[in-house]
């Protein structure tokens, strides 16, 4: 690996190995116009590489719904993986994302790739159109101690009906008012053409 970045045609074996070794990744999205850029850390063994140009990750119920809202509005997404131990490296997967909620045609097929976790809100799929790495020389070293189990424990305490009510109350829109989950999202997708 050279100090300067490299662009790859696909997620090759070396990139796949690097991604699979990471315990955490970051997801960045933005609305089509104005609004806030969102950047979210993810963990808990929730990412899968489905093929050389497709990845998916589990979207668990949480306090916000920016990624879903941005994907419904614009579709652009970037996933970033940093080496916090071993050789320094950063890999970014750029592409177009889609939200596959419970009850959607592909949901059962997609969710079967993942461990069973409480509070699954959707599966986010990404059609990757650019794979690139960079040096990561300034990323600090950290030791992986383990995954936090706070979110799964909290979600496991709620029934599916309680989780659905929570999503209706807190995940219907983004912080900028874009439709994310529930009735507003369904109406927003039906009323706007995807680019």
Interval 35-53 mean pLDDT: 96
Helix (H), strand (E), coil (C) string for 104-136: CCCHHHHHCCCCCCCCEEEEEEEEEEEEEEECC
Which CATH architecture group holds 6-139+146-188? Roll (2.30)
pLDDT band at 186 (very low <50, low <70, confident <90, very high): low
Instruction: Label residues 58-69 b or e (16+ Cβ within 10 Å = b).
Output: bbbbbeebbbbb
Q: Which residues contact 33 (CB under 8 A, 6 or more apart)?
A: none
Residue 183 per-residue DSSP state? H
* Digit-coded pLDDT (tens) for 106-126: 999 999 999 999 999 999 999
pLDDT band at 182 (very low <50, low <70, confident <90, very high): confident
CA gap 90, 84 in Å, rounded: 10
CA gap 101, 107 in Å, rounded: 6
Please, are residues 44 and 117 in contact by the beta-carbon 8 Å criterion? Answer: yes
How far is the first Cα of the chain from the last one, in angstroms, to the nearest whole number?
A: 35
Question: With a threshold of 0.75, does the pTM exceed it?
Answer: yes
Q: Which tokens hold the place of 75?
A: 């579709």
Q: What are phi and psi of 132, to 5 degrees?
A: -145, 150
CA gap 61, 67 in Å, rounded: 12
* Digit-coded pLDDT (tens) for 70-106: 999 999 999 999 999 999 999 999 999 999 998 899 9
pLDDT band at 192 (very low <50, low <70, confident <90, very high): very low
Please, are residues 56 and 98 in contact by the beta-carbon 8 Å criterion? Answer: no
The pLDDT of residue 187: 52
Q: What are the sequence ranges of the domains in the chain?
A: 6-139+146-188
In the beta sheet, which residues pair with residue 91?
81, 133
């Amino acid at each position: 690996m050279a100090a300067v970045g490299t662009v790859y045609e696909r997620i090759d074996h070396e990139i796949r190995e690097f991604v699979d070794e990471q315990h955490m990744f970051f997801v960045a999205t933005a609305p089509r116009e104005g609004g806030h850029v969102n950047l979210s850390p993810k963990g808990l063994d929730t990412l899968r590489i489905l093929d050389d140009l497709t990845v998916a990750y589990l979207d668990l119920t949480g306090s916000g719904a920016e990624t879903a809202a941005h994907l419904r509005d614009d579709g652009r997404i970037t996933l970033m993986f940093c080496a916090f131990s071993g050789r320094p490296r950063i890999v970014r997967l750029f592409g177009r994302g889609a939200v596959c909620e419970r009850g959607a045609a592909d949901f059962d097929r997609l969710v079967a790739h993942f461990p069973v976790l409480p509070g699954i809100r959707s599966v986010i799929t990404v059609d990757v159109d650019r794979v690139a790495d960079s040096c990561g020389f300034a990323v600090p070293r950290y030791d992986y101690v383990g995954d936090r189990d706070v979110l799964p424990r909290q979600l496991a305490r709620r029934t599916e009906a309680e989780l659905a009510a929570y999503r209706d109350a807190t995940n219907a829109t983004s912080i900028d008012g874009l439709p994310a989950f529930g009735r507003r999202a369904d109406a927003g997708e039906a009323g706007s053409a995807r680019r």
